Amino acid sequence: MKTEREKALCGELYDAANDEELLAERMEVKYRLQVYNATDPRDIAQRTAQLKALLGKTGKQLIIEQPFACDFGRNIEVGENFYANVNLVILDCNKVVIGDNVLIGPNVGIHTAGHPLDVEQRVQGLEYALPITIGDNVWIGAGVNIVPGVSIGSNSVIGAGSVVTKDIPANVVAAGTPCKVIRSL
């Protein structure tokens, strides 16, 4: 029988609201994020060390400006030379894999978690999570929201305020709600 964590990573409905193991882990991560977000912003070495301890995988150089929020941290992988501006939210109930040289603007949400349309399942606390992949050399503008299961190809630019609901290919500029390809690069 699968654990709720295993169900989440398989994209199946899982009990996010009542599973004691997941609830305890999220509480610990919230504490660690409280410490991170209160760390002196000038202490880059300490902030980097905290991120490396929290995230599943990182490159040597990464900056996530404070405040930062996530569910678990362990499901987030970022490549080399990663930069995210203030108010990044990553709901990492499933894998979030981000490539090298990625820039993320302020107030961006990367959401692997979703809720079923069936009201009875929602009331029970069930949800699903689908992985998100962001390629190398991607720039994500301010206020972008990325929904479960989306991939963004390498070298692409996502315009500010976009809602990314479908895969975006490599080497394009895409923007809008829903986000659509505007032109090739």
Active site residues: 115
Q: Is 11 left (phi over 0), alpha (psi -120 to 50) or beta?
A: left
Residues near 115 by beta carbon (within 8 Å), at least 6 away in sequence: 122, 126, 127, 128
| Alpha carbon distances (Å) from 88 to 12, 51, 116, 180 | 26, 13, 25, 22
77 DSSP β-pair partners: 57, 97
Query: What are the helix (H) ranges across 55-130?
Result: 119-123
